[in-house]
Structure formats: C-alpha cells, structure tokens
Amino acid sequence: MTSSTVELACAAFALQKGLVHVVQAAMLGAILNNLLLMMGVAILIGGISNHEQSLKKETTQTSINILMITCIAYVIPIGLDVSMESIYKETLPELTTDEVRHMIDIDILKLSKIMSVILLIVYFACLGYQYHSRTFMVTPEAKHEGQHTVEKRYTHFWFAAFAYVATMAAQIYSAKLLVYAVENLGRAHHLNDSFVGFVLLPIVLIADLQEEVIAIRESRANRIDKAVALMVGSCMQIALLVTPILVILGWIMDVPMTFRFTILEVTILAASVLVISYLLSDHSTNWMEGVMLLAVFTMCAIAFYYDNSHLETTAGEGTTIGGEGGAPEAHV
C-alpha cells in the first residue's frame, strides 16, 4: 500500500498542475510496467533458474478475471466517446465541432465519476473476499512453504505511528519534487506526455522496487504463483483504487480527470491483458514467455514515444509540451 500512496501523491501533484494526460498515462504505465516489464523479468529469471514453473489454478483464474474487469472499465469511455461523436454529428448537424466536443466531455466526466465509485466498491469487495477466503487478489502475501523461524519484535504504538507519518511525509514531499523534475525533463528533451507518463514516472517511482524485488525472489525460488499474484495485485491497486481516487480528487479540484484514454492506450492495455491471459491459461511459465512480455513492453514504449495524440485531445487537458497545463473550461 505504501507504493500506491507514493504513486497517488505523484499523480495528485501532477493533477493539481493540470497535467491530466500525464496522470492518465502514468496510471496506465504503472499497470503495464507491472504486467509486462516486471512480470516479464520475474518469469524470465524464474524460467532460467527453474526451466518451467507451475501456477496454481485459483491464482491464474483470479488474476485473469480481475484483469478483464480493468480492461472493460478502461475501454468503455473511449467507446462511448467515439459512438457519441458520430451520433451528435448526425442528429445535431447545426452544432460546431467544439460544441459537440464540449457535450461529450461533460458526459464522459459524469460516466467517469460513476465508474470511479463502482471500481472502489469492487476493490473493497475484493478485500473482503480475500480476507474470508484467503485467496490472492489485490493484496497478495509473500507466504513461504515449509518450516521457517519468525522473530517477534515489539515496537511501541506511538513510535511506530510517528515513524510511519514521518516516512509518508518525506515520500509525499519527494513526490512533489519528482513531478517538477520529470515535467522539466520532458520539456527539455521534447518528450510527449504519453512517453513521460508511461516510461519515466513508473520507472523513477523507487517505492515499487520492493515489490519487484520480492516478485523476482519468489520466482527464483520456484514460487511463480506468488510473483504473479504480487504483480497482478499491484496492477489492481492502481486500477481499482488509485485511479478512481484520482478521478474523485479531480472532481474536488475542478480538474477533468476521466477514464477516457486514447485509442492507442486502450488498444495496448487490451492487447496486454489478452497476452497475459493466454500466457497464464496453461498454468505454467518458462523463460521464453518472459522474453515475449519484455518484447511487448519495448514495442509499447516505442509506440508511446511517437504518440502525439495528446496534441489533438480536448481543450483543457494539461500537457508538458508547449506550456503549462491549464484548468479546463467544461465542468460538471
């Protein structure tokens, strides 16, 4: 949960500056980094160490089900956007393109607010289901097989609370500095928002390193089901918790944070979920599958590097290119 807090803090500061597309790309980037990059590395290293590894059926099925829910939630807004644009142009030809865009923006914003509440309900329902069934879902535990010794350490409650608050304050302050640094880096090298959000922000979020190291260690120890559960659990925290909270924060800050991603972003997410589903469907992994995931991630990063669709998005969405991100004109 700590890594999700850091990601939420970074995204909130970027959202405050009006960098809506950067935040959207960062959330999608965090999901795809866990699904493609880190899961690919874990499967590759585990395959090299153990040749072929087996996955538990319940871990595989649960992971695929939650990934499909995320995919559907991210596809609906762009599908509604495209269909409504054609409907408005046919039924109301007297409206200008800007007026049609304004009406669609309002509808998508309403839809995003409703979807954020639904996804939060799903997240807490997953927590409740995991608590009662002891099944890996959104907060996988790194349990070890066999006998092991656990050393109990006792810490005073107030000391632990103070240490936690101090650590979180330092992380949030670092997140604020990180947003400014990444924004200036993108402008200096003329990088588009998709590449900044997809590649730079997820990579420099060092807080995720602990989960990635644990996943790799579990994979090397021939516990690939734990590694997969950890990576999918991180994705679900972003998709079902962090992104909906950001939509609600945008609502509070009067910034149009929505679930409307570009067609390229939605296509890459859907294709990635499809690839993961096929790779996990046989309940086994090998090092070649890890190579495939890393190849897919590299192709996605190159595609985002050349993506300029954010320059054609609706007015009001912030960008790191060509000036400061601004607040929107259309709100609900």
- DSSP letter for each residue of 237-257: HIIIIIHHHHHHHHHHHT---
Predicted local confidence at residue 310, as pLDDT: 53
pLDDT bracket for residue 295 (50, 70, 90):
very high
- CA atoms of 157 and 163, how far apart (whole Å): 10
pLDDT bracket for residue 203 (50, 70, 90):
low
Predicted local confidence at residue 331, as pLDDT: 44
Lowest mean pLDDT among 56-65, 123-132, 158-167: 56-65
pTM as predicted: 0.76
Q: Which two tokens stand for residue 257?
A: 């944070």
Average pLDDT rounded to a whole number, residues 220-240: 83
Average pLDDT rounded to a whole number, residues 22-47: 85
Q: CATH second-level architecture of 2-139+167-312?
A: Up-down Bundle (1.20)
Lowest mean pLDDT among 69-73, 187-191, 218-222: 187-191
Question: For all residues of the chain together, what is the average pLDDT?
Answer: 76
pLDDT bracket for residue 136 (50, 70, 90):
low
Condensed to tens digits (0 to 9), the pLDDT of residues 138-148 reads: 554 444 444 44
- CA atoms of 234 and 70, how far apart (whole Å): 13
- CA atoms of 60 and 271, how far apart (whole Å): 18
Predicted local confidence at residue 73, as pLDDT: 84
Q: How far is CA 182 from the centre of its chain?
A: 18
Helices 224-237 and 57-91: crossing angle in degrees, nearest 10, is 30
**Is it the case that residue 168 has pLDDT exceeding 80?**
no
Better-scored residue on pLDDT, 304 or 114: 114
**Is it the case that residue 316 has pLDDT exceeding 80?**
no
Predicted local confidence at residue 228, as pLDDT: 83
Average pLDDT rounded to a whole number, residues 92-117: 85
- CA atoms of 241 and 116, how far apart (whole Å): 9
E strands within 49-161? Answer: 52-54
Predicted local confidence at residue 37, as pLDDT: 86
**Is it the case that residue 322 has pLDDT exceeding 50?**
no
- CA atoms of 134 and 129, how far apart (whole Å): 8
Question: What 8-state DSSP symbol labels residue 197?
Answer: I
Query: Which helix H or strand E contains 272, and what residues bound it?
Result: helix 263-280
Predicted local confidence at residue 114, as pLDDT: 92
